[in-house]
Amino acid sequence: MMAFLKKLGISFLISSLIYFNLRYWQLSILGWIFVIFQSLLTSLFVRAILIQVFHFTAHTLRTKIFSLFLSFYSLGLIGGLFILSTTFSSIIMALVFLLNAILWLALKATLTIESEQSENIFDVFKQGIAHAQEPKSKISVLIYLVLRINCI
């Protein structure tokens, strides 16, 4: 729980710095640094989810790029929802970055809690699923892409 609050606090701090830069300082290089740092932080949350759910390997370039892509994708989705509902101001922009981080951080925390609880269930049924294999990452990515293309 403490690690969750620490990561949430860091995300809140960076989002606040994005707000202050957009509202008061208006330094483009500082804005780029904050946006890149927030995007890299969010992609760390996404990478942990990809590793846990889709069984990606931890330190490959493919996992890092795909997690960054998903981070930007959700950022654009949340930003698009705000554009449809209200005007795009500095507070809304910072809120979009914060909500993106909260979304992935909450999903990561939920999956961590579920995996800790499901280990007990797997211990009970260990003999029944001993012969089952976990899906390979290439198959998981293919399934994801097929489902994503069908949604378009």
> What does pLDDT average to in each consecutive run of 10 residues of the chain (152 residues)?
91 96 95 96 94 88 92 93 88 96 92 67 51 57 70 60
Buried b (16+ CB within 10 A) or exposed e, 67-94: bbebbeebbeebbeebeeeeeeeeebbb
Domain that holds residue 14: 8-111
Specify if 98 maps to a domain: yes
Q: What is the pLDDT of residue 88?
A: 84
| pTM recorded for the entire structure | 0.77
What is residue 120's predicted lDDT score, i.e. its pLDDT?
54
Residue type, 40: L
Does some domain include residue 131? no
Does residue 151 lie in a domain region?
no
Assigned domain for 136 exists: no
Alpha-carbon distances of 136 from 13, 35, 51, 105, rounded to whole Å: 37, 33, 11, 25
Q: What is the pLDDT of residue 132?
A: 44
- Number of domains comprising the chain: 1
Residue 135, domain member (yes or no): no
d(CA 71, CA 56): 16
What would the two tokens of residue 17 be?
């710095």
Question: Burial level of 32, CB count in 10 A (0-12/13-18/19+)?
Answer: exposed
Distance CA 104, CA 22 (A): 24
Q: Is the dihedral of CA 68, 70, 76, 82 positive or negative?
A: negative
Rg of the chain, C-alpha, whole Å? 18
